[in-house]
Amino acid sequence: MINRFGRLNKIEKIAVAFLGVLALVTGFQIVHEFILEHSETFPEKGGLYVEAASGKVETINPLFIHYGSLTHDLSLLIFSGLAKYDPKTQEIVPDLADFKVSDDGKTYTYVLKDNVLWHDGQPVTANDVIFTYQTVLGSPSFKGSILNYNDFSGMKVFKVDNRTVKFALEKPDSFFPVKTIIGILPEHLLGSVPPENIGQDPFNQSPIGSGPYRFGSMKTEDSMTEITLQSFADYIGKKPNIDTLQFRIYATPEEALKHQGEVDGLRTVPDEVAEKVLDKKHLNLIRYTLPQYVAIFLNTESPILKDKAVRFALQLGTDKNAIAEALGQSRIIDTPLLEIDQRNWVYQYSVTKANGSLYDTQWQLPDSKKIEASTATKDKNGKEVTPAPKPTVTPVADPDNTSAVTYINGPNGGNDWETSDTKVTLTGTVPPKTKSLFVDDYELKKYVPGDTSWSYVASQEFGNLKTGRNVFHVYAVDTSGVKKEIDAITIAQGTSLELTDKELTKAKEENAQAKELPIRSNKDGQELTLRLIIPEQPEAYGKIAAMLQTQWSKLGVRLLIEPLPNDLFQQRLSKRDYDLLIFGQNLGYNLDAYPYWHSSQAKAGGYNLSQFKNFVADSLLEKARLQKDLTQRQKTLEDLQEIMSKEVPAIFLYSPTYTTAFTDKIQNATFDHLATTSDRFANISDWYAEYARKLKPGTTPLTFLTWIIRQF
């Protein structure tokens, strides 16, 4: 064979060598494809995961975290609670302890699992639980941020034995297990520290917990802080596959992105740089959502915003679609109650309706001539016409200008309305020289010429009020016998208040033609000026504020925007020193709206940023906490949303989409049903960075031959 090869000329030798290499490569590819198809991967222990993030690491302590923050990430990995959130089941499940609840729902008993240890080797006992919940959280002097998310009042904790504790509640609370996912603190290390000083203790810079990872080191070089965690061999739960986690924390997102080629993941990826990450072809983008919303909170105690009609006008005058599109967001919302069907609470953007809502308030436009010029639109013949200030009136040829007056006064002040009532009474006034009145084709028999008011009953019993959208047109016949439409109102009974395609097209045209108005003022000369505060980060809030400034200028509203550093922003929040603010809120693990909308949380330090106070809403929020039956809870939340729809304590914009980036090296990481950004580590024990591949059982040489034949 060698002699034959030696007799080949140079070109023939090259050709044979090439064919040989080609056969080897082809053979390798065939075998590789076969192995991929007939083998399985098995995670192996070991490996390193490196993640880049931006921000600042402060107190690494579960009682001082803000949900979804960097310190929450670290706390979730280092500390364990009595229970934990499982994104797979979307339930609160045992962690350090198994638990059960009494039949009356007022007593929860937790029994620590066997051989639970702190990272320093000391045992976790009931004393640590008592220390965390009673000594620290129960102390009036303790001010940790975890109190912003949980109300521990009305709760007592008792030690039964060295492994058992009982929580006694004043009243049943189906959400209580969420309060036990808080990381437990070690009494043997912090027991001598006064509760008010725990946040400043050196423990928080090198914490000892009982979670799947133990604190390794923290070092700072130039503008980067590097924190290393090591897997804890004695962790009581499922032990993680990855040995080492390393977090490289930079001052800004831009700085973190510069180092994307050196890491296995990016904590968050801003939408504006997502394509740049993909261009590097090192990391894959993963998008996920949270039970969270971004809203414009209206301070209902602000002198101007105490008027519900003003709040309603701002809502109607906000183009959510334009805001969401500008920010790359897709999930627009109209309610903070994310459990209910969003489609049932839709508000259409309408500059005309917004100005109509302001028509009967103290805030009026300064010069009618300027008003006509600035609000003028064109009819089908190209002639300029002035749309009626009342949003529901259809402009008609009207020499007496009756269309500029509101003739429906109730319900809801004559504005379009959503209701669950099966009977509604319409009331209003009449133009001069009215001989008779009609609602649609029904003549009001009780109306007598000279009367200044009228009423009309719409009822499901009578068949003139149907479930869904009802439009009532009011017509007046004058003494000369001319019949004109003078007003109209849309009432949505038990469903959403959406416009028909025709009305939506008309509204879009009116919105596009609407121009900036002069600033409204009241009789005392005070201008309709609102102060909006926003934090400097995220940048999206600044973009929203700028768009609102433009959109609301078409209502005659001046918006003053105040971007503030985080510390000053928090001070203004605490003092409630603002008219409006843009902020995001997370409903957490049980979608509980109580912390954000109950009147008890309107006080300084609470998260009821709108200072919304409504007795009926309070009772519904309290009721929802006790309801385990999902159907009953849905009804409660729908009743609550109806109140919030009428009161307009906030303008809800969108539920944000988050983006993270991962290398293919990290396997089995999932991002479904997260409650906070930090919950991406909830299943860290399933992740792996090292793995082996083994042939599936039953795979033989005959399997390979059969497979080869099928390929050809």
Pairing type for strands 529-535 and 558-564 reads parallel
Q: pLDDT tens, 480-535?
A: 888 888 888 888 776 444 556 666 677 778 888 888 899 999 988 899 999 999 99
Q: Looking at residue 125, what is its pLDDT?
A: 96
Is the CB of residue 255 less than 8 Å from the CB of residue 270? no
Mean of the per-residue pLDDT values for the chain?
Answer: 83
Q: Looking at residue 116, what is its pLDDT?
A: 95
DSSP string, 163-185: TEEEEEESS--TTGGGGG-SPPP
Any idea which fold 368-497 has? Immunoglobulin-like (2.60.40)
Q: Which CATH number fits domain 49-282+660-690: 3.40.190.10, 2.40.280.10, 3.40.50.300, 3.40.50.1000?
A: 3.40.190.10
Lowest average pLDDT, out of 35-44, 123-132, 452-461, 538-547, goes to 35-44
**Segment 263-273 mean pLDDT:** 84
**Segment 329-350 mean pLDDT:** 74
380 pLDDT above the threshold of 70: no
* H-helix segments, 175-307: 187-190, 253-258, 274-280
CB atoms within 10 A of CB 598: 24
Which helix (H) or strand (E) covers residue 651, if one does?
strand 650-654
Crossing angle for the helix pair 701-711 and 10-37, to the nearest 10 degrees: 110
Share of the chain above pLDDT 70, in %: 85
372 pLDDT above the threshold of 50: no
pTM of the predicted protein model: 0.68
582 pLDDT above the threshold of 90: yes
Contacts of 294 (CB under 8 A, 6+ apart): 540, 541, 544, 582, 583, 584, 653, 654, 655, 656
pLDDT band at 373 (very low <50, low <70, confident <90, very high): very low
Q: Cα–Cα distance between 188 and 180 in angstroms, integer? A: 20
> Where in 322-371 does DSSP place strands (E)?
none
Is the CB of residue 259 less than 8 Å from the CB of residue 619? no
**Nearest alpha-carbon partner for 271 in 332, 322, 326:** 326
392 pLDDT above the threshold of 60: no
Is the CB of residue 86 less than 8 Å from the CB of residue 93? yes
Q: pLDDT tens, 616-664?
A: 888 888 888 777 777 888 888 888 888 888 889 999 999 888 888 888 8
Q: Cα–Cα distance between 614 and 622 in angstroms, integer? A: 12
pLDDT band at 711 (very low <50, low <70, confident <90, very high): low
Q: Cα–Cα distance between 609 and 649 in angstroms, integer? A: 9
Q: Give the residue with greater pLDDT, 65 vs 28.
A: 65
**Segment 392-417 mean pLDDT:** 58
Q: pLDDT tens, 72-107?
A: 999 999 999 999 999 988 889 999 999 999 988 899
Q: Looking at residue 124, what is its pLDDT?
A: 96
Q: Looking at residue 100, what is its pLDDT?
A: 93
Q: Cα–Cα distance between 8 and 14 in angstroms, integer? A: 10
Highest mean pLDDT among 141-155, 205-219, 316-330, 681-695: 205-219
| CATH code for the domain defined by 291-365+517-655 | 3.10.105.10
Q: Which two tokens stand for residue 3?
A: 């002699």
- What type of residue sits at position 390? K
CA angle 363-368-370, nearest 5°? Answer: 105
**Nearest alpha-carbon partner for 402 in 477, 350, 331, 465:** 477
Q: Looking at residue 383, what is its pLDDT?
A: 42
Q: Looking at residue 651, what is its pLDDT?
A: 92
Is the CB of residue 647 less than 8 Å from the CB of residue 298? no
* H-helix segments, 514-565: 539-552
Q: Looking at residue 673, what is its pLDDT?
A: 87
pLDDT band at 401 (very low <50, low <70, confident <90, very high): very low
Q: Cα–Cα distance between 247 and 266 in angstroms, integer? A: 10
Is the bond preceding residue 411 a cis peptide, omega within 30 degrees? yes
**Nearest alpha-carbon partner for 596 in 382, 388, 421, 335:** 335
pLDDT band at 194 (very low <50, low <70, confident <90, very high): very high
CA angle 483-489-491, nearest 5°? Answer: 140
Pairing type for strands 48-54 and 244-250 reads parallel
